Structure 1
């Protein structure tokens, strides 16, 4: 069993395909016997992935700042819900708790979490697998930009190679599981 942290959008105005993707990932995490680690929200893709994990038989662990609890968006169905004093402490706990990370489509918060966990890996503060689930080419522009940064030597190619990519749920979990076994 691995503790897989999923970063994703919490927006409530998303197309159903994104919510379905998050739910499907959650179901597969639970079905494979893994625990979901999430940002502790009950809305948008974040809520869908948690509901999916529970539907698949998995445990859920959420970490949410008090400001979001106050907005009534906490995943109160979570098996364990930790409330922090802010976003920075939330990210620290997510990184500490997880064995691996999957990033689904999302906005600024999702990108912030991805880059935080990826940066800390490049600094050798952890050696946990990081995967970008690039469904429907959502992250194609970002990946092209990052490859351009590497060509210009703003990003080391070794850092770029740390970021696994996949286009679907099954392959994503296969890659994460293989990376964890190889470690």
Structure 2
């Protein structure tokens, strides 16, 4: 009787685990994007996304450039004409961490240089991080050592020769009330 109980227990447990695993696969959310679709996994594709056949949404768009406003007028260089350019704005707290991101912008990489504007909440110290998502899949390709395999850069264009992230002091800059212009020269890995 004891062996029968153990066999039934393991048989029942196996069926339950298989059912749970099967249901996760069956109901898993599809996060892939079919190029040309008007709707992606995160909602409706923006007009710019549709025009460029890229997964871009309204919340990805850059701000309008306005002279003498508290914003960062950014020029990203060293691009090829494909995919997406992603730019993230950080304050000092949690710099380079997901929780520290103040704003994220994605725009088409439709030329070798892309200009965009980012409004900031107030004058102060900020830093920008950018990369060129060449295949437009919204993910940065990384090598085994976590170093980017796609062009990347940060504000002030510091030279970082070791396997480390840029420091706040290397990437930060002051944004005055009338705004500032920043150039990020992407580094090709």
- Counting helix residues as a fraction of each chain, which structure ranks higher? 1
With the shorter chain as reference, the TM-score category is: under 0.3
- Counting strand residues as a fraction of each chain, which structure ranks higher? 2
Q: TM-score, normalised by structure 1?
A: 0.24
